[in-house]
Amino acid sequence: METYDIKMPLEFVRNIGIIAHIDAGKTTTTERLLYFTGQIHKIGEVHEGAATTDFMEQEQERGITIMSAAVTCFWGYAGKTYRVNIIDTPGHVDFTAEVERSLRILDGAVVLFDGRKGVEPQSETVWRQANKYNVPRICFMNKVNLIGGDFEKSFGTIQDRLSPKATAVNLPIGRETKLNGYVDLIKMKAYQYDGIDSPELVETEIPEEMNDMVKKYRGILLERLVEQEDSLMEKYFAGEEITVDELYGALRKATIAGDMYPVIGGDGRSAMAKTLLDYIAICLPSPIDIPAIKGIDPKTKKEIERHPDENEPFSSLVFKIVSDPHIGTLSYLRIYSGTLKAGSYVYNSTKGIRERISRLILMHADDREEVEMLRAGDIGAIVGLKNSTTGDTLCDEKELIVLERIIFTEPVVSQAIEPATKSDEEKMGAALTKLAKEDPTFLVKTDHETGQTIISGMGELHLEIMVDRMKREFNVIANVGKPQVAYRETIKDICEESEGRYVKQSGGKGQYGHCWLKIEPNKSSEGFEFVNAIKGGAIPREFIPSIQKGVMEAMKSGVIAGYPVVDIKVTVYDGSYHDVDSSEAAFKVAGSMAFKSGCKMAKPILLEPIMKVEVEMPDQNMGDVTASLSSKRGQIQGSESIGNGITRVKAFIPLAELFGYTSELRSITSGRGSANVEFEKYSEVPKSVAEEIVAGNA
């Protein structure tokens, strides 16, 4: 295994993620990449629970990835050695936060597709996430070797549903189980291998029966590549030969600019993994190919930037926290500029605190290499940071910058949890705190009315795995209640004037706070907005933040059924004060009173999470499945045949109706159906259902 080389130029570093729908073969492909780069000497299989990057027990048992794992490996291409930092991310929608935070700090991505199905629901989600962060990507059509594998058909789904910029750069040789190589459309050569255990690709002639197909796809590829350079365009129209190196240069330029998504196809378990490594080196950007990272100077509030250069001031983003039973807290970070040395101090500009760097580590999945320093372009981990959490910026104390935080979706499912025994009580609190620190979409709170501990997450599987982790990693056994929906409240009308008046006289110093609020609905994208419209000093400026605090406290439990209030604009426009008796506490109470009474006058409504559901099932089960979805207050959005006797139905369904749906679908389809469920939006609850919820909460 090669170790960290401090002298390796940044242009030979690749920070990449492997993203895809669940079960497209991400972890298996990552295993092959590690095998061919010499990081591991035996290939671990996911279904045997032996994959390098799936090192959690739950991952090994379920055959799915839960935590994104970071691995460093080295690959030689065209006489040069490349250092590839790979992050293998989860495909299950409940762990979408892992994909989100990985994409935020990566320079490029490999998007994997199942060659039998093409674009699947979660493929679209990860593609949108990659678009959000402008991540250049290459597409790998995996599993073309299985029965039903069809490169052309699956490639068509990428062009239709994700981007017309997807362009084939190689074509598989042989169909389904006869797959044994590919034609390289740039070199115009064929390469074949002898079974998946053969590590060698042997150059051969392009099969005659593929000539027409090769000509068609080569023509499309050339037209797109020559658009990148005027000189290539001139050569192309003059009929002159364009060299392979020129074409690769244009391919790299087009991929990094987002003008093209190269598509290669084959079997990720074969020597094709070597070709994928070559394309990672050829197409995906190094840290110096991406634009400088932008941030805010916390003192001047002006935008500043940092370039991927060791000589610039140090800046980095913490993107993941892991509690390690052996060495304590591990904080994963991406370094954007400068260098970081073990034993030094850095400044957390998000929280305004100093942190000491005790040890620095490079990760090879769950194997670690301790290093003395990390530098611009590196992805590594710090041991033992006290206060830094996901999304925090660590930077040079003298050159402050705050980088944009990672925004995560709000959890939509909650459960009450209690320790099985009295002795587990203290341990449970500590375990939940650690798990919540690791996962920004896992929230823990106490319901003060019932005294219960409530855990919230992205789905039933998410919460199930958290409870399981508590049992295994922290030795805490807990009982959980039925899953609960995270309802919200808002208003439909405007309350022009709502008064909050808090006056208390009981001997000694009194309390006096008085304000008038205007309360109106806000767009969901704007969330909560507080406006100070006080004129002429009716309320002194120092009391305005207290009114805002009072409003925000009151928003935690609404006026219909005690759920949090969202998407509201509150304007404080008048009030009065007392020279002696007014205090911050009194104005906080007045703000809370005015907000509560104003909400009651502004047509308050209940909101519920609506989920986007995509169900795949055999054609003969379609009638039963759509009837079942409709019975759950579902709005069917449409259906399509995806071949091989399988139909995909899309619908919007309230989360409240979906608990236990996976088991129901299995029984309807005799185990052949699968559903992908992800959060879509909050929507008003129908009146009859709202009345039931309110009655249940009374």
What average pLDDT does the segment 8-15 reach? 85
Task: Tell me which CATH code domain 607-697 carries.
Answer: 3.30.70.240
Backbone angles phi, psi at 619, to 5 degrees: -50, -40
DSSP three-state, residue 70: strand
DSSP codes joined into one string, 469-491: HHHHHS---EEE---EE--EEEE
What average pLDDT does the segment 415-421 reach? 83
What average pLDDT does the segment 190-207 reach? 80
How far apart CA 411 and CA 47 sit, in angstroms, is 30
* pLDDT above 70 for 7: no
* pLDDT above 90 for 507: no
Which of 31-35, 218-222, 511-515 is the least confident region?
A: 31-35
Residue 448 has a pLDDT of 67
Residues 75-90 as b/e (b if ≥16 CB within 10 A, e otherwise) read: beeeeeebbbbbbbbb
Domains of the chain, by residue range, sit at 10-289, 293-403, 417-485, 489-602, 607-697
Q: Fold for domain 293-403?
A: Elongation Factor Tu (Ef-tu); domain 3 (2.40.30)
Percent of the chain at pLDDT exceeding 70: 88
pLDDT band at 56 (very low <50, low <70, confident <90, very high): very low
pLDDT band at 546 (very low <50, low <70, confident <90, very high): very high
Do 607-697 and 489-602 fall under one CATH topology? no
* pLDDT above 90 for 255: yes
Residue 53 has a pLDDT of 40
The dihedral sign for the CA sequence 67, 455, 680, 105: negative
Task: Tell me which CATH code domain 489-602 carries.
Answer: 3.30.230.10
Backbone angles phi, psi at 289, to 5 degrees: -90, -10
Q: Is 1.10.510.10 the CATH number for 10-289? A: no
CB-based contact 551:571 (threshold 8 Å): no
pLDDT band at 6 (very low <50, low <70, confident <90, very high): low
* pLDDT above 70 for 96: no
User: Whats the size of the chain, residue-wise?
Assistant: 698
pTM exceeding the 0.85 threshold for the entire prediction: no
For the chain, the average pLDDT equals 82
Query: In the block, which residue shows the tokens 């705190």?
Result: 433
Which of 17-26, 162-171, 557-566, 582-591 is the least confident region?
A: 17-26
Of 630, 636, 570, residue with least CA distance to 598: 570
Which of 314-318, 326-330, 339-343 is the least confident region?
A: 326-330
CB-based contact 557:550 (threshold 8 Å): no
Residue 367 has a pLDDT of 65
Residue 63 has a pLDDT of 41
Backbone angles phi, psi at 437, to 5 degrees: -70, -35
How far apart CA 11 and CA 107 sit, in angstroms, is 12
Residue 23 has a pLDDT of 64
**Contacts for 245 with CB less than 8 Å, ≥ 6 apart:** none
Of 529, 576, 573, residue with least CA distance to 555: 529
* pLDDT above 90 for 551: yes
Domain 417-485 sits in which CATH superfamily? Answer: Elongation Factor G (Translational Gtpase), domain 3 (3.30.70.870)
pLDDT band at 61 (very low <50, low <70, confident <90, very high): very low
**Contacts for 66 with CB less than 8 Å, ≥ 6 apart:** 56, 58, 59, 90, 92, 95, 98, 465
